[in-house]
Amino acid sequence: MKTTTAALALSLVMAMPAWAETVDVGLILSLSGSGAVLGTEMQKGADLALEMSGGKLGGLDAHFVYEDDQRKPDVGKTAAERLTRSEKVDFVIGPSYSNVMMAVQAPIVRSGTPLISPNPAPAELAGRGCNENYFVIPFQNDQPSEALGLYLNEKGVKRVFLLAPNYQAGKDVIDGFKRSFKGEIVSEIYTSLEQNDFSAEITEIRARAPEAVLAFMPGGLGVQFVKQYDQAGLKPNSALYTVFTVFNGVSLDAIGPAAEGVYSVDQWTYDLDNDANRAFVEAYRTKYGTLPSNFAAMAYDSVRLIDGAIAKAGGIGDMDAVRAAMRKASFHSVRGDFAFNNNQHPIHSMYLAKVDKDADGTLAVRSQELMVEKMADSFAQECRME
């Protein structure tokens, strides 16, 4: 009788359909403290993607497990270990900042769990540190500023002032610009990630009188810096170009009119003309009552990447097939054309955007022109993955 019962149980398990599988996705984001503005935007984008797919990914019931890294590497590492060892999630999306990425990437990819970055992409992980379980949706950290350097060369700009926080992403941004820009770097300043008063830096900018300033100031830093830059009256003589600083939604709302005329270098803008983007923007505005930020869009695409890969692989039973589908970018991106390079970082277009008013006076970051088309990052050739 025991043999008959066991055989019956086995036959029932074998007969269970593929839809009985569930997908667990861990999300490690900065959801509290001064870095929460980015993490909250990413949470909105991810939640919207799952909602728009009916709570399923690749046709399977899906569940999100959120962890708050507080923008602290040690907290992020603990969260990564909990998600992969205790929760045994199938995928991880996150984190929000590069300093946390450097702490969580190794334990996650070593566990065999695919890690999808919705924002940070440190140079060390794009070249020799690439990994089959590590996918980057938005960019490699150096790319936007490297594209800006090429653009300013074409425009004949000769003198630029550089400003960024003193951590990995800040160094990547500055390195990317210096790699492509042919003119003079009049000054290169690294600030604290907790800094709110930029009067000393603004005084130096005024004294140096550059043609342009490149500033990378994420989250609350950007709100304070752009306001203080506007109050100093520097924009007419020293155009302000930013990366990862001014974005629709929380950041722009917090900065207000002081952001008008500020430039931003982006791989995505809300007004890109493709079906996937129009559907995303409309759904986001309906749900949250504002334009989506770059961070929300990239988290949305991160979830869509998982959705498309599971559907193409026919489930999550064969994770090698899932990874292969991820490498082929089996989803419709809000950026339109999208492909992964050999290091699983994107090959994509970079745009110059600008904060200006629409017909009813509403401020928004809008695309101005295409800067570089089908841009690959500068580290892919060092990646040993085939």
pLDDT at 14 over 50: no
The pLDDT, as a whole number, for residue 12 is 39
Give residue 1's pLDDT: 43
Check: CB of residue 305 under 8 Å from CB of residue 91.
Answer: no
Phi, psi of 353 (to 5 degrees): -120, 165
Residue in the structure block whose two tokens are 């919207």 = 48
Q: Looking at the predicted structure, is the pLDDT value of residue 118 above 90?
A: yes
pLDDT computed for residue 17 by the predictor: 42
What pLDDT score does 33 carry? 87
Contact call for residues 334 and 301 (beta carbons, < 8 A): yes
Question: What pLDDT, on the 0 to 100 scale, is given for residue 161?
Answer: 98
Q: What are the structural domains of the chain?
A: 23-139+273-344 (3.40.50.2300), 142-266+350-375 (3.40.50.2300)
Give yes or no for residue 134 having a pLDDT over 80.
yes
**Residue 151 dihedral angles phi and psi, to the nearest 5°:** -65, -45
- Residue 156's CB: how many other CB atoms inside 10 A? 8
Contact 154, 181 (CB under 8 A): no
Give per-residue pLDDT as tens, 154-205.
999 999 999 999 999 999 999 999 999 999 999 999 999 889 999 999 999 9
Instruction: List alpha helices for the chain, DSSP H.
Output: 2-15, 36-52, 73-81, 98-110, 143-154, 168-180, 199-208, 220-231, 250-255, 275-288, 294-313, 319-327
**What one-character-per-residue DSSP string does 338-366 give?**
-EE-TTS-EEEEEEEEEEEE-TTS-EEEE
Q: Is pLDDT at 15 greater than 60 in this prediction?
A: no
Distance CA(83)–CA(86), nearest Å, equals: 6
Confidence of residue 19 (pLDDT cuts 50, 70, 90): very low
Contact 91, 325 (CB under 8 A): no
Query: Is it the case that residue 39 has pLDDT exceeding 50?
Result: yes
The tens digit of pLDDT for each residue in 303-320 reads 999 999 999 999 999 999
Among 363, 142, 135, CA closest to 244:
142
Whether the per-residue pLDDT at 374 is higher than 90: the answer is: yes
Least confident window among 204-218, 230-244, 271-285, 347-361: 347-361
Question: Is 267 within 8 Å of 139 (Cβ atoms)?
Answer: yes
* pTM metric for this prediction: 0.90
Distance from chain centroid for Cα 52: 20
The share of the chain scoring above pLDDT 70, in percent, equals 95
pLDDT of res. 101 = 97
**Separation of CA 234 from chain center:** 29
58-102 pLDDT per residue, tens: 999 999 999 999 999 999 999 999 999 999 999 999 999 999 999
pLDDT confidence tier of residue 9, bands split at 50, 70 and 90:
very low
| Residue 310 CB neighbours (<10 A) | 26
pLDDT for the residue 7: 45
Give residue 219's pLDDT.
Answer: 83
Looking at residue 359, its pLDDT comes to 76
The 3-state DSSP class for residue 306 equals helix
